[in-house]
Amino acid sequence: MLALLALCWQVLVVEALGDAVFDPLAYVDPLIGASNGGNVFPGASLPYGMAKAVADTNSSSNQGGFTLDGAFVTGFSGMHDSGTGGSPSLGNFPLFPFTNCPEGDINRCVFPKKSRAAHGGFGNNTVTAKPGTFGITLNNGIRADMTATHHTSLFRFTFPTLGSDGQPAQPLILQDLTDLSDSRQDNGSVTVDPETGRITGSARFLPSFGGGNFVLHFCTDFKGADVLDSGIFVNSRGSTEVKNLTISRSINGYPLPGGAFVRFSSGAEPILVRTANSFISAEQACKHAETEIPDYDFERVSEAAIEKWREKMSIIKVSPAGVEGSLLTNFYSGIYRTMVNPQSYTGENPLWESSEPYFDSFYCIWDLFRSQIPFLIITDPAAVAEMVRSLIDTYRHTGWLPDCRMSLNKGYTQGGSNADNVLADAFIKGIKDGIDWEDGYAAVVKDAEVEPYDWCCEGRGGLDSWKALGYIPVQDFDYKGFGTMTRSISRTLEYAYNDFCISQIAHGLGRTADRDKYLASSSNWKNLFRPDQTSLWWNGTNTGFTGFFQPRYLNGTWAYQNPLNCSNLDTFSVCSLQNTGRETFESSIWEYNFSFVPHDQSTLLTLLGGPSLFTSRLDYLHNTNITYIGNEPSFLTVFQYHYSARPALSALRSHSYIPSYFSPTPSGLPGNDDSGAMGSFVAFSMMGLFPNPGQNVYLVTPPFFEQVNITSPVTGKVARVRNVNFDGGYKSVYIQSATLDGERYTKNWVDHSFFTEGKELVLVLGDGESDWGTGVGDLPPSLGEYVGFAGGNGTAVNDTSTITGWKRGLEEVVGRAWRGGYVGDVKV
Ligand SMILES: *[C@@H]1O[C@H](CO)[C@@H](O)[C@H](O)[C@H]1NC(C)=O
Ligand SMILES: *[C@@H]1O[C@H](CO)[C@@H](O)[C@H](O)[C@H]1NC(C)=O
Ligand SMILES: *[C@@H]1O[C@H](CO)[C@@H](O)[C@H](O)[C@H]1NC(C)=O
Ligand SMILES: *[C@@H]1O[C@H](CO)[C@@H](O)[C@H](O)[C@H]1NC(C)=O
Ligand SMILES: *[C@@H]1O[C@H](CO)[C@@H](O)[C@H](O)[C@H]1NC(C)=O
Ligand SMILES: *[C@@H]1O[C@H](CO)[C@@H](O)[C@H](O)[C@H]1NC(C)=O
Ligand SMILES: *[C@@H]1O[C@H](CO)[C@@H](O)[C@H](O)[C@H]1NC(C)=O
Ligand SMILES: *[C@@H]1O[C@H](CO)[C@@H](O)[C@H](O)[C@H]1NC(C)=O
Ligand SMILES: *[C@@H]1O[C@H](CO)[C@@H](O)[C@H](O)[C@H]1NC(C)=O
Ligand SMILES: *[C@@H]1O[C@H](CO)[C@@H](O)[C@H](O)[C@H]1NC(C)=O
Ligand SMILES: *[C@@H]1O[C@H](CO)[C@@H](O)[C@H](O)[C@H]1NC(C)=O
Ligand SMILES: *[C@@H]1O[C@H](CO)[C@@H](O)[C@H](O)[C@H]1NC(C)=O
């Protein structure tokens, strides 16, 4: 999804490295994206962890809980999503500490979230964030440190000696039946045990970008001081006489504040608060807490979390020599964020009985399929296998693959049925652990063939028109299924690519008739191409380019949308999921033109009149800011020069965006991280291997480091990219020649076996563009023919040796790698 602001920030230069053992964790800054709309969750979590502990603020951009934008802390909670748009997600059952209640009167402690925020001021420089831990000191002197296991958060509150009234500390810690977006429904309940201080409870909440609701339970225990007394509060008043509360949502859109509190006899020692959540029951939450953190040992738990992250992050090692520390921080922090969301809720799904894994917080697949899941396919294929099994199991039990899913509910679909792309990408890259690909195939075919009654949140709309006309018409007539009738262009393009992805799985499963059928409909994008369409700037000046996608009515007549509408430069159109939205989703016709025919760039080139024009149009897209790197449709456009035989320009373009649009600072992200989508864009770009998801293709550019080593978690083999003549000032970003495992290599792309077979790519760099990777046989796979290439530098001269047809595409995209190495037999 899209955030509104793009700001450039100065590069932060970090300390040069010594010769010490290289520790990737030293370069992870979880605070990147914690302000300026990045919406990143910067707190303590394990990889894919359900427990995510952080301080929550009252920022209007607190989707990830914490922000560094001058907003105040309103609580400390243990459930979050990261990088999302939509409403703020989760943030359930926040704790809030007071050193004492003035004069010992509990009613002089401040219970409601809105008013207690006044006690939540803090200095930015007190915030410490590292993978697995987070800490902050409030202006009132209370220090809060936190860490996490998979379902349990451990908070350590350290109190000043005296409270605000000058009396000795007698801390009160409250726990509130609320969440970040104030979505609590009727009948929230809480109980406090007067002996132990244990607080348990549950409440019903709403998901942040979808319909439905969910119930979440919790269990909280304390250690460190004797319980003085305890009770419950409603609104701004509490009582130590009452131990149980069931509370209504009440009036006026803001749920009535209510919860429980425990007061302690002393604040001399830190108070440890262990709180676990469960979607099943409070008992299960207590069980998680007791098994995961029996000892309340903060150091042990945080060390274990750090070690877990170190293990995950050590898959990729780069050479730090000659590179600014800020670039290392950018890189490793991006990688870190790819493993924060989605979250494993395995064992925590109350919706159906299953022995399959359950992942949640696919938020949203429209964002994730492009580079985040492809990144994890390299670095954590076992986790991707579980995610794919979970997607397929979700199909089995809800009838559909999700496009977006959070907090046990369906989220809104933004374009096509893009889980199809995720399944295809995993399939062709040989992810198979325990995956039932027959069911997986049935799931994607259902997306293509069966229209849901409500396609807000699954499947596709307009399938009758799609099948009869080969496009989604503007003002479609659809009496079978219902959804927001906008985005006819972007939905057409995405459905076409979804069908391509289905054809790839069909091919691998030996279903040739299906393969051919879906390959045919993958060309439906052509039906919305209007060759004589011009594009004028708002002031009437012609951009000089002709030929754009346009909306089309049921009767075949063209409708009109300005090709620049919904571009980065359009400040007047409504472009997201609103019912007044346009025919393209969160991007312009200009951009969809390039980024959303990922499978048939060769045909696009041909329609355009040749590679030179394609290149100059791609330059125009970037140079005039029609595209915006802060939203996901732009990702592939950075590297599409590879298809017009100018791979050097992809390298230049990626350096033009990193670090200027992605800097390792809290405000350094250009828009929502969207789980870790932006993080994965940075990581892939800097690694010099960018995926075209759904295809067995990585486009090669020089890594931002002298060397990159990637250990395959599947085979244990180490793939390596090495730059010869590397310079950290990035003058020499042009590949002059390359070898792959010692053999001369001229293709401008590699396939997934590069990683699994641990190949070595050596790139010889120079300071001028060369003809490396520019021969027609060097270009990436594409369905159509490449026409008009001379075999060097993309000059528009026809090459009689043009490799033809979709068969080549298929062989390259699927067949070859599918036959090789471990990418072999799938369970069918
Ligand atoms: C730090 O705090 C100030 C004011 O409290 C805020 O406006 C600023 O944006 C914060 N963040 C950073 C990263 O400096
Ligand atoms: C956050 O809380 C502070 C302190 O009470 C208050 O001044 C500020 O207006 C609040 N901000 C919002 C957006 O509610
Ligand atoms: C709340 O509880 C009451 C009493 O058990 C019940 O009648 C009511 O339907 C509940 N409300 C909701 C929204 O579940
Ligand atoms: C409070 O709730 C607990 C747990 O649900 C229950 O055992 C206890 O009887 C309740 N106490 C009162 C006074 O309702
Ligand atoms: C990559 O692996 C090679 C071969 O084992 C080794 O010599 C080199 O130091 C490694 N580079 C990094 C950055 O770890
Ligand atoms: C597109 O942009 C123009 C400005 O050129 C604006 O007037 C128009 O309302 C926008 N929407 C469409 C559908 O053209
Ligand atoms: C119209 O706008 C475009 C894009 O901003 C600009 O390049 C061009 O110079 C403008 N033309 C006139 C006549 O102002
Ligand atoms: C858009 O794509 C079509 C091919 O589908 C091409 O002919 C046309 O020139 C493209 N327009 C631009 C501005 O790139
Ligand atoms: C096709 O439908 C559109 C929209 O209803 C209408 O404006 C146009 O005149 C129709 N064209 C023909 C040829 O009927
Ligand atoms: C594009 O945007 C960047 C960053 O906002 C700005 O520096 C640059 O001048 C813009 N270019 C044009 C042609 O407007
Ligand atoms: C490739 O094209 C670029 C830009 O037109 C030019 O500067 C360069 O000399 C060309 N290189 C070769 C090897 O033709
Ligand atoms: C290149 O080939 C295309 C299609 O075969 C043809 O239309 C075009 O005229 C050729 N161009 C040149 C420069 O030979």
| Better-scored residue on pLDDT, 450 or 786 | 450
Choose the residue to mutate in 536, 538, 539, 568 for probing ligand 7, maximizing ligand atoms within 8 Å of C-beta: 539
DSSP conformation letters of 445-514: HHHHH---SBTTSBS-S-HHHHHHHSS--TT---SS-BS----HHHHHHHHHHHHHHHHHHHHHTT-HHH
- Ligand 10, atom 13: closest residue by C-alpha: 624
CA–centroid distance, 721 to ligand 5, in Å, is 10
CA–centroid distance, 537 to ligand 8, in Å, is 17
Which pLDDT tens digit goes with each residue over 334-357? 999 999 999 999 999 999 999 999
DSSP conformation letters of 64-94: TS---SSPPEEEEES----S--SSPP---S-
Phi and psi angles of residue 265, each rounded to the nearest 5 degrees, phi first: -75, -20
pLDDT value for 15:
36
Cα torsion 385, 713, 375, 771 to 10°: value is -130
Upstream peptide bond of 342 is cis (omega within 30 degrees of 0): yes
Strand stretches in 398-445, DSSP E: 405-406, 409-410
Tell me, what CATH number does 98's domain have? 2.70.98.10
CA–centroid distance, 773 to ligand 5, in Å, is 26
Rounded to whole angstroms, the Cα distance separating 634 from 789 reads 26
Is residue 184 assigned to a domain? yes
E strand or H helix at 544, and its extent?
strand 542-549
CB of 573 within 6 A of ligand 6: the answer is yes
pLDDT at 300 over 70: yes
Looking at the structure of the chain, the number of domains it has is 1
| Better-scored residue on pLDDT, 528 or 594 | 528
CA–centroid distance, 558 to ligand 8, in Å, is 16
Whether the CB-CB separation of 254 and 165 falls below 8 Å is answered with no
Is residue 100 assigned to a domain? yes
Domain span holding position 268 = 31-310
Is residue 275 assigned to a domain? yes
| Better-scored residue on pLDDT, 631 or 298 | 298
Q: What is the mean pLDDT of residues 386-407?
A: 98
Whether the CB-CB separation of 806 and 812 falls below 8 Å is answered with no
Q: Which ligand is nearest to the CA of 573?
A: 6
Strand, helix or coil for residue 340: coil
Ligand 5 first shell, C-beta below 6 A = 317-319, 707, 709, 718, 720
CB of 22 within 6 A of ligand 8: the answer is no
User: Residue 372: which of 677, 48, 49, 689 has the closest Cα?
Assistant: 677
pLDDT value for 631:
86
- Token pair 């790197």 is at which residue? 629
- The side-by-side arrangement of strands in the sheet containing 316-318 is 316-318, 707-711, 718-724, 760-766, 734-740, 743-744
* Residue 823 binned pLDDT confidence (cut-offs 50, 70, 90): very low
Q: Which ligand is nearest to the CA of 629?
A: 10
pLDDT value for 626:
86
Is residue 55 assigned to a domain? yes
E strand or H helix at 421, and its extent?
helix 419-428
* Residue 793 binned pLDDT confidence (cut-offs 50, 70, 90): very low
Whether the CB-CB separation of 119 and 273 falls below 8 Å is answered with no
Q: What is the mean pLDDT of residues 815-823?
A: 24
CA–centroid distance, 69 to ligand 1, in Å, is 5
CB of 68 within 6 A of ligand 1: the answer is yes
Strand, helix or coil for residue 135: strand
Across 103-115, b (16+ Cβ under 10 Å) vs e yields: eeebeebbbbbee
Rounded to whole angstroms, the Cα distance separating 193 from 214 reads 25
Rounded to whole angstroms, the Cα distance separating 229 from 425 reads 56
Q: Which residues contact 183 (CB under 8 A, 6 or more apart)?
A: 87, 205, 206, 208, 255
Cα torsion 526, 530, 531, 535 to 10°: value is -130
Q: What is the mean pLDDT of residues 210-214?
A: 95
Whether the CB-CB separation of 182 and 171 falls below 8 Å is answered with no
CB of 558 within 6 A of ligand 9: the answer is no
Upstream peptide bond of 457 is cis (omega within 30 degrees of 0): no
- Ligand 6, atom 2: closest residue by C-alpha: 565
Q: What is the mean pLDDT of residues 170-195?
A: 97
CB of 238 within 6 A of ligand 12: the answer is no
Phi and psi angles of residue 348, each rounded to the nearest 5 degrees, phi first: -120, 15
CA–centroid distance, 367 to ligand 10, in Å, is 24
Q: What is the mean pLDDT of residues 691-699?
A: 96
pLDDT at 797 over 50: no
Rounded to whole angstroms, the Cα distance separating 50 from 116 reads 27
Continuous H helices in 93-218 = 113-116
Q: Which residues contact 304 (CB under 8 A, 6 or more apart)?
A: 132, 149
Q: Which ligand is nearest to the CA of 244?
A: 4
pLDDT mean across residues, the chain = 90
Rounded to whole angstroms, the Cα distance separating 734 from 756 reads 27
Please tell me whether the overall predicted TM-score, pTM, comes out greater than 0.75 for this model. Answer: yes
* Residue 806 binned pLDDT confidence (cut-offs 50, 70, 90): very low
pLDDT at 65 over 90: yes
Whether the CB-CB separation of 767 and 740 falls below 8 Å is answered with no
DSSP conformation letters of 567-598: STT--SS--SSSTT--SSSSS-HHHHHHHT-T
Q: Which atom of ligand 2 is nearest to the CA of 121?
A: 4
Rounded to whole angstroms, the Cα distance separating 93 from 65 reads 12
| Better-scored residue on pLDDT, 20 or 823 | 20
CB of 70 within 6 A of ligand 1: the answer is yes
Which pLDDT tens digit goes with each residue over 406-461? 999 999 999 999 999 999 999 999 998 999 999 999 999 999 999 999 999 999 99
- Ligand 11, atom 5: closest residue by C-alpha: 793
* Residue 775 binned pLDDT confidence (cut-offs 50, 70, 90): confident
Show the tokens assigned to 460: 């596709």
CA–centroid distance, 709 to ligand 5, in Å, is 6
Please give the share of the chain, as a percent, with pLDDT higher than 90: 77
CA–centroid distance, 606 to ligand 8, in Å, is 10
Q: What is the mean pLDDT of residues 562-584?
A: 76
* Residue 547 binned pLDDT confidence (cut-offs 50, 70, 90): confident
CB of 538 within 6 A of ligand 6: the answer is yes
Q: What is the mean pLDDT of residues 731-743?
A: 97
pLDDT value for 792:
45
Is residue 418 assigned to a domain? no
* Residue 594 binned pLDDT confidence (cut-offs 50, 70, 90): low
Which pLDDT tens digit goes with each residue over 709-722? 999 999 999 999 99
pLDDT value for 20:
58
- Token pair 């006690």 is at which residue? 119
pLDDT at 670 over 80: yes
Is residue 270 assigned to a domain? yes
| Better-scored residue on pLDDT, 606 or 497 | 497
Rounded to whole angstroms, the Cα distance separating 487 from 535 reads 19
Is residue 550 assigned to a domain? no
Which of 25-34, 128-137, 532-541, 688-697 has the least mean pLDDT?
532-541
Residue 652, burial from CB neighbour count under 10 angstroms (0-12, 13-18, 19+): middle
CA–centroid distance, 244 to ligand 4, in Å, is 6
Choose the residue to mutate in 488, 552, 557 for probing ligand 9, maximizing ligand atoms within 8 Å of C-beta: 557
DSSP state of 162: B
Please give the share of the chain, as a percent, with pLDDT higher than 70: 91
Which pLDDT tens digit goes with each residue over 28-59? 999 999 999 999 999 999 999 999 999 999 99
Residue 529, burial from CB neighbour count under 10 angstroms (0-12, 13-18, 19+): middle
Is residue 538 assigned to a domain? no
φ/ψ bin of 293: left (φ > 0), alpha (ψ from -120 to 50), beta (otherwise): beta
Choose the residue to mutate in 538, 541, 568 for probing ligand 7, maximizing ligand atoms within 8 Å of C-beta: 541
Residue 543, burial from CB neighbour count under 10 angstroms (0-12, 13-18, 19+): middle
* Residue 102 binned pLDDT confidence (cut-offs 50, 70, 90): very high
Rounded to whole angstroms, the Cα distance separating 291 from 305 reads 16
Rounded to whole angstroms, the Cα distance separating 608 from 614 reads 6
- Token pair 């409601």 is at which residue? 112
Choose the residue to mutate in 469, 488, 555 for probing ligand 9, maximizing ligand atoms within 8 Å of C-beta: 555
Rounded to whole angstroms, the Cα distance separating 488 from 510 reads 32
- Ligand 3, atom 12: closest residue by C-alpha: 186
